[in-house]
Chains A and B, each alone.
Chain A
Amino acid sequence: MQYKQILLTGLLCLFVFSLWAQQSASVSGTVKDSEGAPVPGASVRVSGSRLGASAGEQGAWSLPGLKPGTYTLEFSAVGFSRTEKTVRLQPGEKAVVDVVLSRKAAQVKEVNVTGLTANQQVNRQAYAVTSIDAKPLHNSSQDLNQVLGKTAGVRVREDGGLGSGFNFSLNGFSGRQVKLFLDGIPMDNFGSSLTLNNIPINLADRIEVYKGVVPIWLGADALGGAVNVVTNSKTQRYLDVSWSYGSFNTHRSAVSAGYTGEKTGFTVLGNFFQNYSDNNYRVHTGVTDLNTLIIGPEQRLRRFHDRYRSEAAQVEIGVTGKRYADKLLLGIILSQNDRQIQTAAQMSKVFGGWDQRSNTIMPTLKYKKTDLFVKGLDFNLYGSYNFGSTRNVDTLNRVYNWAGDYKDNTFNEQGQYVPGGENSRSLYKFSNNLAIANASLGYNIGAGHSAGVNYTFTNFDREGRDPLKPNEEAYETPQQLRKSVLGLGYKYDYKDRWSTSVFVKEYFVKGRSAQRVDIYTNPHWEPIYNDLSKTGYGVASAYYLLPSLQLKLSYEKTYRLPEGDEMFGDGVNHVANKNLRPESSDNVNVGAVFARKFGERHRLMVEGNFVLRDAEDFIRVDLVDTRTQSVNVRGVRNTGVDADIRYAYREVFTAAVNATYQHLINTTRYETPGSNVESAIYKDQIPNIPYLFGNLDLGVKFKKAGFSHARLGLNYHLNYVHAYYLKWPSLGYSWEKNEVPQQLSHDVSATYTLKNGKYNLSFECRNLTDERLYDNFLMQKPGRAFYVKLRYFLSKY
């Protein structure tokens, strides 16, 4: 996240720190209002310099690495009167300055950049971006997917309970078309044991959702947007321990801690988390008689083979605040997961023995330096290599039904062993050997001009083997894919009113695989190469029409390069397509944000976005006789709107509502290349994609609940998804259509905190009314479920 931060610094030049002290001193403290409540986001500036900090959630701030001397500190916050304090620092001194800001009587007209939290700063960018502040959610037992799913324009579709497969969709793009990042690092390199469905919310400081233009510092080939999870590593010393327990024997715990030596700069950061659930929630389904194979009437039965567990540890050791490095951290990510598979893509196919296991062993390196050689030049470097592997275990020769009964075929009538599997007999183990390197330079030219360059290199080199299938020659063939994304950006800020970014991205891909040739005369494998390059570009601009009204416009021509398995197949059932082209899209976002205070008590934020996506060459999996292949069929145009309204009455009551409508149309006129027969589904609406959905959130907070520093928060959340068709809407009798029905679900939660957030207890009920919920066709999700979470948080120990 520091990584991401510094790229922001380079490119946006919102704040630049200078850390050249040798025998550095530091100053820290808190900012509170006259009632003793913290003032999060308050700005602290060193007079006459560009040094500064902003106060965190608890009003705490710190300025490390100062040269000894006398400083004047200016404290300000929106709605408060400005205050100054002078402090004299001795070498190595750790001074503490606590201030109390008094509220201004008059209404604040202008929102000052320096008074914004990181969260608000992200939202102010010219890009169409939503930043979700994760800190208020740290007491919740949600994971990142559940939080993201409440955002306008976003749907996260899950197959079932904790750890189940999911598909993230943003403004009509989904799957690999939307790229996911953790602190600016592409998450597809982490393996399945570290994804949005198992990372606890406590690890996140905020989540940035880029709806459309993806800034160059997120170096990847996204077709329509990106999500960047920014973890919490700002506070220098902290400890966050949480444990939650709930329905379906769900246990989740997380420990997050950081330490930085004030003098030595020695830094240790650690994140540890664990997820476990039996996911044995009840579903409505018929039981197949194992002898007659007749499917019986619907019953309410528990899932019985859906256990999920994952454990992960991330440790980083290094130094911060040194002359040669603002940050130099060596780290390792270790994680593993084990997922039992209960069903195929439709629930009628049920399994009792199949599971998938995966692990990640990934060393990492992070380096950042501001003001490298010259002032305003910032450098950032990241590298990692994933040694992890995934194993698919399907060796149980049984047939299960939903009652959990099975017919065992392991031995035949003669008592001989019969090898078999439930879905496809397998002990396939593969390692993608993913390497990633990222380097970026940002330069603040001055007078509002800044420029940046970002280069990301990834290498995919799959090695796979199945000891049960010695004859699968395809496993022996190379599957290598190297991708590079080079981004160049330039930004100009005119005062605080107008900001424009332009950028160019160059995508390169080099692939190597093999295909079987001369199958009728001299069958053998021959290498195939697929080298591609594409140029994308875009512009994003934002203008403050009024101090409270910002208009945003952005455009991007973007590409998503084929992934290794799409281009080369999986060597078994997914065949190579060496002619696969990148997906491309023209993305336009037009948005307006209105945010202002009405009096001292009322705050209102209204945001509206219009999106246009004109995409071509969608990469889709198609059936080629017995096997599947990735093909470039489908042009899609999405014309959509989303709106978000937030209201707050003091710190007491909040209400938020958002709605998304997206109209996705098939623009492919001829389904088969070379064909001149216009397809029946030309201009039909793209099926199996939710097109109308929304969320409502209501929250109440009570201060001094029982004890003086105790707070009680109550929350209600409503989610609505309009019914949508599984297949093309125009086809078939309207009364015989397969439909994912309308969903309406209610969640409620209560959070009780003591000692200003040190001790936290929360209680949550999801799907209060026990609705039948589906994200995918007839794949039932959990009914009513209860969760309790305990959390201990200590900053600055």
Chain B
Amino acid sequence: MPALAAAIAIAIAASSCSKSDKNVNPDDLVNPDNSTFVIAVTAEGSSSEATDYVLQSKDLMTGVITPVGQGIEQKSYRMYELVGKTLLSITYQGTNVVPGYALNDKGILSKKNGEFSILRLHARGVVDQDRMFGMYCPRDGSAEATFYEINATSMSVARQAKINVFQTANNWKEWAYFNDVRMVGGKVFAPFFQIKNSGFDTQYTDSAYLAIFSYPDLKLEKVIRDERTGTLGRYASNDVLSITESGDVYTYSAAGAIAAGSAPSAKPSGILRIKNGTTDFDKDYFFNIETATGGYKLCGMKYIGGGKALAQIFSFKDHVAGDKWTNRDCRLAIIDLAAKTITNVTDVPLHTGGGLQYGCVIDKGLAYLHVQNADGIYIYKVDLATAKGTKGAKVQGKAVMGLFKMTK
């Protein structure tokens, strides 16, 4: 019976592929160099009506990118990660099933065989062409976070581990809430903030915290702490660690802008460094963003190569209760991490920050990202050399949850 069911499943999968091929003209979606942009759009409407659509487009700079009549419908709101040639559609809300998509021989995005079941991932990091790390963090008082090592190529979970969040926080009053997880020098680095309830309240906002685990057994080796700035990253931001070509790790704190929930931090927003081969914050490096910008805080950043990062910096100083989850009114800038300089990107309007980690494609000296504000969502192209933005295609939807470039 199971064999028969599997055969039927394969037959159905095969027929749906051919259906896609029949209905879609690859020339409309795939560039001559076999590349295609993949955009995951959350459609408008409440969660009972709306879901995500995974769309393909040759071009991000003209027309309207819309889920009307196109795109692969997801079963619920998702998060996305591109691991090598596989796009994973990861549980965010609703079903806990992870499907994978790859470009078929015609360049059309098709569902891969196999699905696996994991919890929502609050921290994610791509390891190589096959693997990614992910961590689920509880906020119901459960003691353990779950670590996953996912093999996207084989659509399976290669490793699972439990990490005690109380032990990591080490004050036994609050627990660690991880927001990024990366392989650095054979170890697993995971920055975190702390919370004491599901409202993200905390007493501990006056330092940056980062946990270092051994690999592959995921034992907590140490927690490094730095008092020069506040907690690292934002909720599920996954953009907290920037690893340069030389192996240095840069990390940022939004310092109470929204970073750790409701409590304020007296510390300035800034950037810290962990030098290649070390497991401590570099005492000789701190880039105080508030000093450099005249009092503004970082919202998020993404490493773009050559020692530089694309950053979103808030355009206002007075953060109030209503801003807690909004990330509103950010400017785009390019930061030279080692040189500690900030270059504002021109011709990009104020927009909602966050999401650079998975909503940004770096390609041939250009960065493609989505810019969302009251005027809607538009793709912008940023020339990284001149720091100049160009407005591109309009996106119809509530949010962009993933923007990738794939090649068959």
Are these two chains actual partners, yes or no? yes
Query: Would you call A680 and B68 a contact (CB within 8 A)?
Result: yes
The 0/1 profile, CB within 8 Å of A marked 1, for residues 349-390 of chain B is 000000000000000000000000011100000000000000
Name the interface residues of B211-262: CB closer than 8 Å to any CB of A: 235-236, 256, 262
Smallest beta-carbon distance A74→chain B, Å: 57
Q: Closest 3 interchain pairs by CB? A: A732-B73, A519-B262, A420-B142
The residue in chain B whose Cβ has the minimal distance to the Cβ of A517 is B321
Interface presence of A425 (CB below 8 A): yes
Segment with Cβ contacts to B, from A116-124, A344-352, A589-597: A344-352
Segment with Cβ contacts to A, from B46-54, B181-189, B280-288, B303-311: B46-54
Smallest beta-carbon distance A168→chain B, Å: 16
23 CB < 8 A contacts A-B: A297-B2, A300-B1, A418-B142, A419-B142, A469-B197, A471-B197, A472-B198, A519-B321, A572-B199, A620-B49, A622-B46, A622-B47, A634-B49, A666-B45, A675-B376, A677-B375, A680-B43, A680-B67, A727-B43, A727-B51, A728-B49, A731-B73, A733-B71
Query: Would you call B162 and A426 a contact (CB within 8 A)?
Result: no
Query: Would you call A420 and B46 a contact (CB within 8 A)?
Result: no
Chain A interface extent, by class? 35 or more
Interface presence of A70 (CB below 8 A): no
Interface presence of A736 (CB below 8 A): yes
Q: Specify which of A420, A622, A726 is in contact with B143 (CB 8 Å cutoff).
A: A420
Smallest beta-carbon distance A113→chain B, Å: 45
Name the interface residues of B58-83: CB closer than 8 Å to any CB of A: 66-73, 75-77
Segment with Cβ contacts to A, from B92-100, B124-132, B331-339: B92-100
Query: Would you call A293 and B117 a contact (CB within 8 A)?
Result: yes
Q: Provided the pairs A425-B141, A727-B49 are in contact, do residues A345 and B118 lie with their beta carbons within 8 angstroms?
A: no
Q: Give the chain B neighbours of A677 by CB distance below 8 A.
A: 375-376
Name the interface residues of A625-675: CB closer than 8 Å to any CB of B: 625-626, 628, 631, 633-634, 666, 671-672, 674-675
Query: Would you call B2 and A732 a contact (CB within 8 A)?
Result: no
Name the interface residues of A75-126: CB closer than 8 Å to any CB of B: none
Interface presence of A370 (CB below 8 A): no
Assembled-state Cα–Cα distance A516/B324 (Å):
11
Interface presence of A623 (CB below 8 A): yes
Q: Give the chain B neighbours of A628 by CB distance below 8 A.
A: 47
The residue in chain A whose Cβ has the minimal distance to the Cβ of B197 is A471
Q: Give the chain B neighbours of A708 by CB distance below 8 A.
A: none
Q: Give the chain B neighbours of A298 by CB distance below 8 A.
A: 5, 9
Interface presence of A421 (CB below 8 A): yes
Query: Would you call A295 and B142 a contact (CB within 8 A)?
Result: no
Q: Specify which of A345, A473, A516, A521 is in contact with B94 (CB 8 Å cutoff).
A: A345
Q: Provided the pairs A412-B162, A519-B324 are in contact, do residues A294 and B116 lie with their beta carbons within 8 angstroms?
A: yes
Query: Would you call A727 and B46 a contact (CB within 8 A)?
Result: no
Query: Would you call B5 and A299 a contact (CB within 8 A)?
Result: yes
Interface centre among A288, A675, A676, A727 (most CB of B within 10 A): A727
Query: Would you call B198 and A412 a contact (CB within 8 A)?
Result: no
By DSSP majority rule, is chain A's interface helix, strand, loop, or mixed?
A: loop
Q: Give the chain B neighbours of A297 by CB distance below 8 A.
A: 2-3, 5-6, 9
Chain B interface extent, by class? 35 or more
Smallest beta-carbon distance A765→chain B, Å: 26
Q: Give the chain B neighbours of A672 by CB distance below 8 A.
A: 374
Q: Give the chain A neighbours of B256 by CB distance below 8 A.
A: 520
Interface centre among B49, B94, B164 (most CB of A within 10 A): B49
Assembled-state Cα–Cα distance A295/B141 (Å):
28
The 0/1 profile, CB within 8 Å of B marked 1, for residues 430-471 of chain A is 000000000000000000000000000000000000001101
Interface presence of B138 (CB below 8 A): yes
Name the interface residues of B100-156: CB closer than 8 Å to any CB of A: 114-118, 138-144, 148, 155-156
Interface presence of A738 (CB below 8 A): yes
Assembled-state Cα–Cα distance A572/B69 (Å):
38
Interface presence of A37 (CB below 8 A): no
Smallest beta-carbon distance A227→chain B, Å: 22
Query: Would you call B235 and A293 a contact (CB within 8 A)?
Result: no
Q: Give the chain A neighbours of B118 by CB distance below 8 A.
A: 293
Query: Would you call B144 and A412 a contact (CB within 8 A)?
Result: yes
Q: Specify which of B76, B141, B144, B235 is in contact with A469 (CB 8 Å cutoff).
A: B141
Other than the known A631-B46, A634-B46, what 4 A-B pairs have Cβ atoms closer than 8 Å? A288-B116, A397-B142, A634-B49, A674-B374
Interface presence of B347 (CB below 8 A): no
Assembled-state Cα–Cα distance A731/B6 (Å):
29
Smallest beta-carbon distance B6→chain A, Å: 4
Query: Would you call A732 and B376 a contact (CB within 8 A)?
Result: no
Interface presence of A424 (CB below 8 A): yes
Q: Give the chain B neighbours of A472 by CB distance below 8 A.
A: 197-199
Interface presence of A533 (CB below 8 A): no
Query: Would you call B97 and A733 a contact (CB within 8 A)?
Result: no
Assembled-state Cα–Cα distance A676/B77 (Å):
24
Smallest beta-carbon distance A506→chain B, Å: 30
Q: Specify which of B24, B160, B164, B396 is in contact with A418 (CB 8 Å cutoff).
A: B164
Q: Provided the pairs A418-B143, A418-B164 are in contact, do residues A471 and B201 lie with their beta carbons within 8 angstroms?
A: yes
Query: Would you call A349 and B143 a contact (CB within 8 A)?
Result: no
Q: Specify which of A295, A471, A727 is in contact with B50 (CB 8 Å cutoff).
A: A727
Q: Give the chain A neighbours of B263 by CB distance below 8 A.
A: 519-520, 523
Query: Would you call B48 and A294 a contact (CB within 8 A)?
Result: no
The residue in chain A whose Cβ has the minimal distance to the Cβ of B92 is A623
Query: Would you call B142 and A425 a contact (CB within 8 A)?
Result: yes
The 0/1 profile, CB within 8 Å of B marked 1, for residues 512-526 of chain A is 000011111101000
Interface centre among A572, A573, A733 (most CB of B within 10 A): A733
Interface presence of A730 (CB below 8 A): yes
Assembled-state Cα–Cα distance A738/B75 (Å):
7
Assembled-state Cα–Cα distance A784/B325 (Å):
49
Query: Would you call A731 and B49 a contact (CB within 8 A)?
Result: no
Query: Would you call A624 and B325 a contact (CB within 8 A)?
Result: yes
Query: Would you call A687 and B156 a contact (CB within 8 A)?
Result: no
Query: Would you call B72 and A732 a contact (CB within 8 A)?
Result: yes
Query: Would you call B16 and A735 a contact (CB within 8 A)?
Result: yes
Query: Would you call B197 and A412 a contact (CB within 8 A)?
Result: no
Query: Would you call A523 and B23 a contact (CB within 8 A)?
Result: no
Q: Give the chain B neighbours of A722 by CB distance below 8 A.
A: none
Smallest beta-carbon distance B110→chain A, Å: 10
